[in-house]
Amino acid sequence: MKILINERGKKFLAGSEDLHTDQGYIKNEEIQSSSPGDMLETHIGHKFRVLDANINDYIELMDRRCSIILPKDLGVMASFTGLGNGHQVVEAGTGAGAATIFLSNIVGEKGHVYSYEIREDFAAVAEKNIREFGLENVTIKCADVVSGINEKNVDLIFLDLPKPWDVIENAKIALKFGGFLVAYTPYVDQVKLLTKILKKRGFSDIKSIECILRELEVKPKGIRPKTRMMGHTGYLTFGRKI
């Protein structure tokens, strides 16, 4: 999978067809025969740099039909749970597959991600995105996770659902001892109810966090935080089966 970056820094994902932009087009044959670092020109002379797409490039540019969870939240979730190579993960609320791809990349070939999505149209888009990136350690299930989780002894259950508390009982059965449940929710009221039910169901190490990302603006005259920042996206609530 390759990306092309134009003189303005805009990225384009190279597919199986010619690349058409407002700065001209480049033949697909030329793109496929290129190597990372090559400079290609459109038919009207604009230059594009070729790079291999990494996971963040692909998630940014892939087909979407809904909003996705951003890397800042996914990274915190993975680090706080100790997610690693060979782990087994259950996800619910696949959406376009952004979190699925992120999780799959971390657990590697020895691990596996089982992702539940109730909407057939979302599941189809996610399946396409995952296969186009070349991942083989993912199983998409077009099913309602509230009805049950078939997998057992899993390391992590990640929920991106309006009512994650409806899955708590099934999640506790599916998790191995020491495994984590993590829910991503946009509202404080959801966090409050979820925390109450996690405590009632005997989960430990319960906590909720919000990740705020602010870049620095570096100029010759000084350094200061950028005026615009990536503020609230959602809350991450953690619970561990002990």
Residues 141 and 199 in one domain: yes
Range of the domain at 80: 59-240
Residues 17 and 71 in one domain: no
Residues 197 and 168 in one domain: yes
Residues 136 and 197 in one domain: yes
Query: How many domains, the chain?
Result: 2
Domain's final residue, options 53, 70, 94: 53
Tell me the percentage of the chain whose pLDDT exceeds 70: 100
CB-based contacts of 180, cutoff 8 Å, min separation 6: 80, 81, 155, 156, 157, 238, 239, 240, 241
Distance, in Å, from the CA atom of 107 to the CA atom of 72, rounded to the nearest integer, reads 18
Looking at residue 90, which CATH number applies to its domain? 3.40.50.150
pLDDT per position in the chain (242 positions), as tens?
899 999 999 999 998 889 999 999 999 999 999 999 999 999 999 999 999 999 999 999 999 888 899 999 999 999 999 999 999 999 999 999 999 999 999 999 999 999 999 999 999 999 999 999 999 999 999 999 999 999 999 999 999 999 999 999 999 999 999 999 999 999 999 999 999 999 999 999 999 999 999 999 999 999 999 998 888 999 999 999 99
Distance, in Å, from the CA atom of 80 to the CA atom of 90, rounded to the nearest integer, reads 17
Domain's final residue, options 34, 53, 72: 53
Domain's final residue, options 18, 35, 53: 53
Q: Are 31 and 39 in contact (CB under 8 A)?
A: no
Residues 40 and 78 in one domain: no
Q: Are 126 and 95 in contact (CB under 8 A)?
A: yes
